[in-house]
Amino acid sequence: MTEDKPLSRAERNRLQLRADILQAAFIEFSDRGYHQTAIADIAQRLGIGHGTFYRYFDNKRDILEHVINDTAMQLIALLAAENAPNAVQTLAEYREQCQRIAQRFSEFAYANPKMLRLVLLEATSIDADMTQRVFALINTGGQLTAEYLANGVKHGFLRSDLDTTNTGHAIVGIIMAGMFRLLADPDNTSVLTSYGEACVRLITEGMAKT
């Protein structure tokens, strides 16, 4: 059961350094912003010569691409991982799932605020292409959520006339608002708890007096 391991020591070092550069770029870009970050900053953070950077990435834009792609994949994974719609059959179960998801998102957001900063705040101001990529990511989130809702409709615990697509996008908006609130006040570790609860009630029950 030995895997393919043609990774020489040099090879591993190389991959490690590449990962380190990506990591350093991620930190710098999310902390100071893409435009405020010089390649020299990334190199200095790692204690490497800045020429070394160009042995691993074509140019500044190239590494941003990789950083964003990596981050986007993690975000998509987060969204997709929670998408186990068939696990729930009743409204009660569904509500629990929502709370679990909210909890999960909340934890992720607290653990990785830099990712959120990068995608929500920085990536939208590089160029048209990158901005569209962010839009596409958000759109994907909406579609995943919509599938999730469609499942609820199919199982009969969500309104049969629910506009799953648009509602999915709306829910993504709700999540985004939570992220923005966290980013606005990163030290307030409780803000998302009550927000999550309110959101779960909002989307399940609405606001109207019954």
Partner DNA sequence: CATGAATGAGCATTCATTCAT
Partner DNA sequence: CATGAATGAATGCTCATTCAT
Give the footprint of a copy of itself on residues 168-207 (CB under 8 A): 169-170, 172-178, 180-181, 183-185, 194-195, 197-199, 201-207
Residue in 35, 197, 177 with CA at minimum distance from that of residue 109: 177
Inter-residue contact 118 to 67 (CB < 8 Å): yes
Stretch that binds DNA, among 42-50, 120-128, 135-143, 157-165 (CB under 7 A): 42-50
User: Which of 40, 136 has the CB closer to DNA?
Assistant: 40
User: Which of 25, 158 has the CB closer to DNA?
Assistant: 25
Number of residues counted as binding DNA (CB under 7 A): 23
Inter-residue contact 157 to 204 (CB < 8 Å): no
Residue in 61, 63, 62, 68 with CA at minimum distance from that of residue 46: 63
Binding of DNA by 32 (CB under 7 A): no
Binding of DNA by 22 (CB under 7 A): no
Q: What φ, ψ does residue 152 adopt, rounded to 5°?
A: -65, -40
The 3 state secondary structure assigned to 68-121 is HHHHHHHHHHHHHHCCCHHHCCCHHHHHHHHHHHHHHHHHHHHHCHHHHHHHHH
Of 15, 40, 92, 136, the one binding DNA by CB under 7 A:
40
Of 25, 28, 34, 57, the one binding a copy of itself by CB under 8 A:
34
Of 19, 49, 100, 197, the one binding DNA by CB under 7 A:
49
Binding of DNA by 50 (CB under 7 A): yes
